[in-house]
Amino acid sequence: MAENYQPDPVFGRLGQEDGAPFYDCVEAAAFPDHILRYRNQRWAEHVGLGGLTEAEWTNHFGRFESLPDNLTKPLAIRYHGHQFRGYNSDIGDGRGFLFAQLRDDENRLLDLGTKGSGKTPYSRFGDGRLTLKGGVREALATEMLEALGVYTSKTFSLIETGEALQRHDEPSPTRSSVMVRLSHSHVRFGAFQRLAFEKNDQAIGDLVDYCVAQFYPALAGKDGAQKAVSFYASVIARTARLAAQWMAAGFVHGVLNTDNMNVTGESFDYGPWRFTPTADPHFTAAYFDETGLYSFGRQAEAGAWNLAQLGGALSLIADEEALNAALQKFTGHYEEAMAAEYFRRLGVERTGADDFEFVGDLLQWMAASGAPYEQVFYDWFCGQASEKRADKSPAAEFYMQEKFSGIHNRLAAMTPVRSERLAHPYFEKTAPCTMLIDEVEAIWADIAENNDWAPLEAKIKTISDMREAYGFEASLYEPLSGTE
C-alpha cells in the first residue's frame, strides 16, 4: 500500500459485537469470472490505492479480500425507508455492503461500498447481483455529475463477473458485474427510520454521535438533544444544496426514496437516472414513476418530504418544535443554493438579492423555448466572454428570440469568473458533452452486441476534458455556514 493509505474502519465499532442494531456481518459472493472493466485511478491515488496491480485490485474489489488494517468482514447496513411515500420495513443492504473505510489525502473519511456483491439478510427475493449495464450506467452518471459540479459518490471499480442474469426491464439473460463506489457516507435517512421503528432511542443517539464526529465535528460540543437538532439543520442545508445541484446539472435521479438519501447530502445510488434534454419540470426518469413524483421539477419537494421523515425519527431524542423550525428553513436554503449553483454553472459572479429571481426567469425561458439544456450553459459560460461563441452555436436561433433579450442583457452585465477557462480546447467545439438517454443506450449497445468498450472509454475521456475545462470542485466536502 502507498504511504497515503489511511485505513479507518470506524463504522464497524458501532453497536454490539454482531453489529446490532446498525449492520450485519456478511460474506461476498463467489463469482465465476473477474474481468476489470473500469478503474478510477484518479480517486485511487487520493486514497492510497493507486499502486495496486490489476491482480491486487481484482482480489480486493472482485473477490473482496480485506484491505490491510480495515474491516475484516463486509457489513450489510440496516435501514428501512419510504419508497414512493410508502413505508417499507423489509429493506436494507440487499445487494451491497460496506467493504472498507479509509481517509483521503485531505483526511476526509470515505467509504468503499459495493453494489451487486451478493445476497445479504435483506435481499428478500433478489439475487444480490448487478447487471453490467447497471454498472456502466452508474459509472457514466458519476463521471458526468462530478464534471458538472454535483457532490456525488464516485464509481471506483467495475468488474464483469461472468454470470447470466434474468431481469424484467432489459433483454435477458444479461451480463453481470460487481461495482464498488467511493463516498463520504452510506448512512441513509432510512437508517434512522429503522431505529425509530424499533424505538431504539439509544441507538439513534449513537448514530447521531457517529455522524457528528465524522461529518459535522463543529457540532461535537453540543449536548445530546441540541446536537441532534443542529445535525438535522446541517443535513437540511446539504440536502437543499444537492437538490439545487441536480437542477443546475439538468439531472433527474429518478428514485428519491428515503433510503436513497444520506446524511452528507451526497448524491449516490443511481438506478433509472436521466439527464433532461430541456428545462421541462415534468421530465421523469423512471418508467414506473407514473405520477411524476420524482420528476425534474419536483426533486426539491422530494428532498423536503424525506427530510421531514428524518426529522420524525430524530424526534425520539430531540425537541419536535426545534426540529420543525429547522425544517422550515429548507426553502430559504434551497433558493440560496439555486442561485449559487446556477451562477456557478454560468461561470459568473453573483449580483445580489434578485439572483434567485434571475434563475427563475432563465428556467422559465428555457422551458418555454425548448432550448437544449446543456447547450445553453455551454454557450454562455462566463457570460459576456462567450458572446461570440454563442453567436456560432447550433442553438443561436434561440438567443435571437425577443423573450431572451432580458436574459441576455443580464448576462452581459455579469462579471465572468476565471474566464481563462474558456481557453481550454473543450470550448472550441460547437456542442457540449451531453449524456442523454439515447447516448447511454448507444454506448451499451456497442458493449452488449460487439463487446466494444471503445465508445465508453471515449465518452469518459470527453467527460474528463469537460471536468478539467470547468474546474468545478464537486468532490469537496466543506462546512456550510448558517445551518444551526
Nearest Cα to 336, choosing from 357, 312, 365?
357
In this prediction, residue 484 carries a pLDDT of: 46
Q: Is the pLDDT of residue 60 over 90?
A: yes
Coil, strand, or helix at residue 6? strand
Tell me the CB-side half-sphere exposure of residue 320, using CA atoms within 13 A.
5
Interatomic CA distance for residues 231 and 219, integer angstroms: 7
pLDDT (average), residues 427-438:
98
Name the percent of the chain lying above pLDDT 90.
94
Amino acid, single-letter form, for residue 455: P
Contact indicator for 159, 44 with CB cutoff of 8 Å: no
User: What local confidence, expressed as pLDDT, does residue 475 receive?
Assistant: 74
Instruction: For the full predicted model, state whether its pTM sits above 0.95.
Output: yes
Tell me phi and psi for residue 33, to 5 degrees.
-145, 160
Average pLDDT for residues 437-444, to the nearest whole number? 98
Per-residue pLDDT band at 480 (split at 50, 70, 90): low
pLDDT, tens only, 145-183: 999 999 999 999 999 999 999 998 888 999 999 999 999
Mean pLDDT of 15-21: 72
Residues in the chain, how many? 484
Q: What is the pLDDT of residue 67?
A: 98
Instruction: Using the structure block, give the residue that is written with the C-alpha cell 421541462.
Output: 280
What is the pLDDT at residue 128? 97
Q: What is the pLDDT of residue 353?
A: 86
Q: Residue 169: what pLDDT?
A: 82
Question: Which band of pLDDT confidence, cut at 50, 70 and 90, is reported for residue 481?
Answer: very low
Check whether 17 has a pLDDT greater than 70.
no
Cell numbers found for residue 140:
457514466
39 strand-pairing partners: 157
- Residue 16: predicted pLDDT: 65
Res 482: pLDDT: 42
Distance of CA 228 to the CA centre of its chain: 24
332-337 — which CB contacts under 8 Å span 24+ positions?
A: 333/236, 333/237, 333/240, 333/241, 334/240, 334/243, 334/244, 334/300, 334/304, 337/240, 337/241, 337/243, 337/244, 337/245
> Closest Cα to residue 203, out of 101, 112, 306, 77?
77
Strands 35-39 and 98-103: unpaired
Could you read off the pLDDT of 397-415 as tens digits, one per residue? Answer: 999 999 999 999 999 999 9
If you average pLDDT over residues 333-338, what whole number do you get? 98
The residues spanned by each domain of the chain are 6-189
Asked whether the beta carbons of 191 and 78 are under 8 A apart, the reply is: yes
Please give the pLDDT value at position 20. 79
Q: Residues 184-199: pLDDT tens digits?
A: 999 999 999 999 999 9
Mean pLDDT is lowest, of 286-290, 376-380, 434-438, 471-475, for: 471-475
| Partners of 77 in the β-ladder | 23
Of 76, 3, 63, 9, give the one whose Cα is nearest residue 35: 63
Structure confidence by residue, pLDDT tens digits, 227-271: 999 999 999 999 999 999 999 999 999 999 999 999 999 999 999
pLDDT per residue over 277-310, tens digit each? 999 999 999 999 999 999 999 999 999 999 999 9
pLDDT in tens, 98-153: 999 999 999 999 999 999 999 999 999 899 999 999 999 999 999 999 999 999 99
Percentage of the residues of the chain whose pLDDT score is greater than 70: 98
Q: What was the pLDDT predicted at 194? A: 98
Assign 478 a pLDDT band (cuts: 50, 70, 90). Answer: low
Mean pLDDT of the chain: 96
Phi/psi of residue 83, nearest 5 degrees: -115, 110
Amino acid symbol at 208:
V
Among all residues, which ones are annotated catalytic? 259
